[in-house]
Amino acid sequence: MKPTLGLTGLTFNAMALIAPGAFLWLTYEEQALYGAPTAGMAMWFGFFVALMLCLATAISYAELSKLYPGAGSSYFYAEQAFLSKTHAYKFARVIKFFTGWASHLYYWVYPGLMVGVTAMLGGYLAAQFWPDTFSSSYDSPLLMIIICVVFSLFISWIAYRGVSGSTGVNIAMNVIQIVALLVFSVMAIGYRMSHAEGATAIHLSNGTAINYQVDSANVTDDKGNGVPDSWANGDPKFASSANVTADNLDPAKDTDADLLAYLKAASLKVGDVLPDFQKDKDGKYVKDKDGKIQPVLAIKTQDRSVSDDDLNKDKNKDADVLGTLTAMGLSSGDPYPVFTKDKDGKLTKDKDGHLVPVPFTISYTTKDGGISGSGTAQDPTTFNYHESAGSVVAPHGFSLLFVQACIAILCLVGFESVSSMGEEAKNAKRDIPKAIVLSLLIQGAFCYLIEYFAANYFLNNGYTMPSAGASSAPIGDMMKIVGMWAFGSAKAGVAFMLVQAFTVFLALIGTTLACLNTGARVTYAMGRDEELGAHFGLLHEKTLSPHKAIWTLGVISIFIGIITVLVYLGGTTPSALDKHNVWYSFLIFSPETYAKLPNTFVLVTLVSNFGTFLLYMTTCLVAIVAFREHHTFHGFKHVVVPVFGVIANFICMLFYLVGPLKIGGNTLVAGMSYKEPYIALGIVALWGIWGAFYFAALSKKKGREVFLTSKPAST
């Protein structure tokens, strides 16, 4: 390998893998859901804590790279650290192989995961550009498979061309995504600062940005019947026109024995919602077989959309409504406005004779819904939006920030990737330690903290944290709103979102390329040591890239990418498929089946993450060993920091295994399923068992010692 990279090139290579441009878009929904309905309020501070945890591991990597510059990253460090010790050298080969094998669980899976994520982004954008062909609820399996193949081979080709070309791509991708993120952040903060409490503002209805309030309509099933509504815990919700009073509970004042019996059985108190009750045509209560009166079930409602009939003058005989809908430029499917009325209940008109839509007014205050819910199982306390900038950066409680930190730490991994480029650095001992820490500080402390502040400060009654959790692209939703505000129309807002989505695609190129380059170089180092096939240890004669490892990883990434998108809707209950064409001719399941299946996107993510946590824990332990008998030993940097890194990574891994467990009928962390973490744990265990058998068989075949009896002569 040829040393061509200086500090700038090394830093940008590491920054590409952290990719705030991609992960803000990709993880905000997950962060809104995990620990819902309240943990989202601690998102910013949780990210700050995650940054501190990652810095502990980054310092360990930086310190090791000063001692042992070379290709192979942790794999190389582990061997050299143990070989340098008086007694521990005998374990050098075992720890070296374990570290390399564990790192492959991260570096071989992560590029495929990013290939799958790119395919899902492609499916989302296809629905934006060609809504008549592609569904907004289901990404096309065929399209995603095609993207997995093409994108993976494209990234492999860039990596094959050599590290200089890859560095140029990563520099360009980083600059573009950082500029795009800063533009969005400034606009999101500007939107909030320019809209005072009670001002007319913008919100979304069925994905469309509008500045008026929307009428409601009942949700119906395929037979046209209303769909019953329910509370958060699944209890049926009843229609109501009053609350329980003291007189309702007093037999002396309310002689309705049926009602009194119902109130007593339901344990309702003064102030509770009093249901309306079903009555027959004679006005008598409808009762069940046990003689109990039956409440009227509330029907789910949704935002009403303009229909073809609303715009048809032969079917819509209300000339005022028809004229107003036409004047507003509304089409079929657009949100249907609520119109203002005077004190007598009559519709009001403007100077042009058109009806006046009720404007949407913005709110940030807690009393108006920033935090809602009565705190019961039916109506839990729910965080919706922040009242102030101070609330955005506040911790809001240890349990909440812990949930957020364990998710956020996954956005920050990758800072260590540049440590595999020791043989391609001009001055590895000086520049690689700086690049590791700089990449984390620039992307984490600067980019991520700014953009997460902006996104959370933006939240309001028009776009809440639950809205973000229910969206497949919450940052895209925010971009539609601020884009309409800044550029004057809903179409301009969509255009702004699409431009920003394109920068997310560019960021995915950078992060996939960076990880593939890192993984290939670890594989190259193991191939060169003949711990893997010797052909992996070969360099291309012209590009000097580990081409065998690159193309192998590229092909593996195709299959992992396809697995990632295979059941990406698993664990959810999407609406029925609304498109039936060749793009949806296979790998589509019923909504009920999706609800039962594990989510393959989450599953592959957790396999990669478990590999990351294992690798980081091992590296921190290696750092302790490396400096134990070294003249530069420093108690804080070489014991306290790496021990903290080991504990932090272990706790984060444990979080994904403990969070889904149920206590008292509820999971410890809302939004978490037990299926994906434990299947992922099983895959990690199988990988480890296979590695142990492979290592034993390889040692026997080549006649190599598992535990060294003497130090190699070159050490």
User: What 8-state DSSP symbol labels residue 582?
Assistant: G
pLDDT for residue 571: 83
pLDDT at 323: 93
* Contact yes or no for 418/431 (Cβ under 8 A): no
Q: Is residue 100 a part of any domain in this protein?
A: yes
Is residue 367 over pLDDT 80? Answer: no
Nearest-Å Rg of the Cα atoms of the chain is 29
Percent of the chain with pLDDT over 90: 48
* Model pLDDT for residues 409-424, shown as the tens digit of each residue: 878 888 888 888 878 8
Name residue, tokens 């790998």.
587
Q: How far is CA 711 from the centre of its chain?
A: 47
Confidence of residue 1 (pLDDT cuts 50, 70, 90): low
What 3-state DSSP class applies to 70? Answer: coil
- Inter-residue contact 108 to 516 (CB < 8 Å): no
Mean pLDDT confidence for 682-705: 94
**Residue 116 lies inside a defined structural domain of this protein:** yes
Nearest to 152 by CA among 536, 521, 504, 552: 552
Place of tokens 């003291």: 246
Q: Is beta strand 203-205 parallel, antiparallel or unpaired with respect to 208-210?
A: antiparallel
Q: Of 20, 176, 170, 168, whose CA–CA distance to 513 is shortest?
A: 170
pLDDT band at 68; cut points 50, 70, 90? confident
CA dist., res. 11 & res. 70, Å (int): 16
Nearest to 346 by CA among 320, 317, 313: 320
Q: How confident is the model at residue 715 (pLDDT cuts 50, 70, 90)?
A: very low
**C-alpha separations of 189 from 45, 180, 207, 462, 530 in Å:** 18, 14, 21, 15, 54
Q: Give me 394's structure tokens.
A: 């506040």
Highest mean pLDDT among 147-151, 173-177, 277-281: 147-151
- As a whole number of angstroms, the distance between CA 85 and CA 162 comes to 36
Residue 618 has pLDDT above 90, yes or no: yes
Domain of residue 555, residue span: 7-195+381-702
Q: ∠ CA(319), CA(320), CA(326), 5° rounding?
A: 85
Question: How many folded domains does the chain comprise?
Answer: 1
Domain assignment present for 540: yes
HSE of 570 in the Cβ direction (CA atoms, 13 Å)?
Answer: 21
pLDDT above 90 (res 26): no
Q: Are strands 273-275 and 240-243 parallel, antiparallel or unpaired?
A: antiparallel
Q: Is the pLDDT of residue 280 over 60?
A: yes
pLDDT tens digits for 326-350? 999 999 989 999 999 998 889 999 9
The C-alpha atoms of residue 508 and residue 444 are separated, in whole angstroms, by 17
The mean predicted confidence, pLDDT, of the chain is 89
Model confidence at 83: pLDDT above 80: yes
pLDDT of residue 268: 84
Is 644 part of any domain? yes
Residue 145 confidence (pLDDT): 97
604: tokens are 């592959």
At residue 706's C-alpha, the angle toward residues 702 and 707, to 5°, is 140
Identify the pLDDT of residue 166.
78
Q: Look at residue 19 and tell me if it is in a domain.
A: yes
C-alpha–C-alpha distance, residues 614 and 687, integer Å: 12
Is 285 part of any domain?
Answer: no
Measured CA to CA, the distance from residue 452 to residue 466 in angstroms comes to 16
CATH (domain of 590):
1.20.1740.10
Per-residue pLDDT for 239 more than 50? yes
For tokens 């729910």, name the residue: 382
Query: Is residue 286 one of the residues assigned to a domain?
Result: no
Q: Under a CB-based contact definition with an 8 Å cutoff, are residues 151 and 118 in contact?
A: yes
CA count, 13 A, side-chain hemisphere, 423: 17
201 — pLDDT class (breaks 50, 70, 90): very high
pLDDT tens by residue, 397-406: 888 888 888 8
What is the Cα–Cα distance from 602 to 113, expressed in whole angstroms?
Answer: 10
Model pLDDT, residue 711? 82
Q: Output b/e per residue, 204-222; b: 16+ Cβ within 10 A.
A: bbeebbbbbbbbeeeeeee
Instruction: Summarize the confidence of residues 1-20 as an average pLDDT.
Output: 84
Instruction: Give the model confidence (pLDDT) of 498-510 as tens digits.
Output: 999 999 888 888 8
Residue from 467, 386, 421 nearest 209 by CA: 467
Cis peptide before 574 (omega within 30 of 0): no
How far is it, in rounded angstroms, from Cα 384 to Cα 369? 7
CB 460 within 8 A of CB 33: no
Distance from C-alpha of 610 to C-alpha of 604, rounded to nearest angstrom: 10
User: Rounded mean pLDDT of 202-223?
Assistant: 90
Which of 372-386, 433-447, 526-540 is the least confident region?
A: 372-386
Distance CA 382, CA 668 (A): 17
What does the CA dihedral 262, 265, 267, 269 come to, rounded to 10 degrees?
Answer: 20
Place of tokens 């000063």: 66
